[in-house]
């Protein structure tokens, strides 16, 4: 099992950041790499079990299923059902935590998955930097960060 962990400080109150990221169908609104997204079978995007079907700007298509959503903990857990990345048993969790000193947000994104050993380093780089960090950087910038 391989783990990727990325965290960042978003310069806005956690409730504001959570409003942006809790929409499981909202990736095109805040990540720089998702072109379009839909929820399969017309289900609400906060129905646990719903599947988002989205297209990356580079053309790749990914299907992910919402496994858990908590407005109390401000966290969202999902699994990849189908992707071009070559990962198995991929489960990721995005969590926001308030930073009371300064009223900003500590954001964490973690993924665990299996893959071919020779692909591990490249996937860690791609998921950690190309996906999670790129999304956090865009999210931070949208709230006025650097």
Q: For residue 100, what are its two tokens?
A: 């009371």
Tell me the C-alpha distance between 30 and 41, whole Å. Answer: 23
Of 13-21, 40-48, 57-65, 119-127, the window that binds another protein (rule: CB under 8 A) is 13-21
| Closest to another protein by CB, 6 or 111 | 6
| Close Cβ partners of 66 (under 8 Å, ≥ 6 residues apart) | 24, 45, 46, 47, 48, 49, 50, 51, 52, 76, 77, 78
> Which of helix, strand or coil describes residue 78?
strand
Cα angle 19, 25, 29; round to 5 = 65
13, 28, 46, 112: which one contacts another protein (CB under 8 A)? 13
Region 95-134 residues binding another protein, contact defined as CB under 8 A? 97-104, 106, 108, 133
In angstroms, what is the minimal distance from the CB of 112 to another protein? 15
Q: Check binding of 66 to another protein (CB under 8 A).
A: no
| Least spacing, CB of residue 83 vs another protein, in Å | 23
Q: What residue ranges bind another protein (CB under 8 A)?
A: 5-9, 12-16, 19, 97-104, 106, 108, 133, 136-137, 142-144
């Amino acid at each position: 099992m391989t783990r990727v962990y990325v965290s960042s400080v978003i310069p806005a109150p956690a409730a504001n950041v959570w409003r942006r990221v809790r929409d499981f169908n909202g990736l095109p609104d805040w990540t720089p790499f998702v072109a379009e997204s839909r929820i399969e079978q017309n289900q609400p995007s906060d129905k646990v079990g719903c599947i988002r079907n989205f297209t990356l700007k580079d053309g790749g298509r990914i299907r992910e299923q919402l496994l858990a959503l908590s407005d109390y903990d401000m966290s969202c857990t999902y699994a990849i059902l189908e992707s071009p990345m070559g990962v198995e048993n991929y489960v990721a969790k995005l969590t926001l935590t308030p930073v009371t000193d300064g009223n900003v947000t500590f954001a964490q994104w973690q993924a665990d998955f299996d893959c071919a050993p020779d692909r591990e380093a490249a996937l860690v780089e791609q998921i950690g930097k190309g996906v999670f960090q790129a999304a956090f950087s865009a999210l931070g910038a949208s709230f006025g960060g650097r």
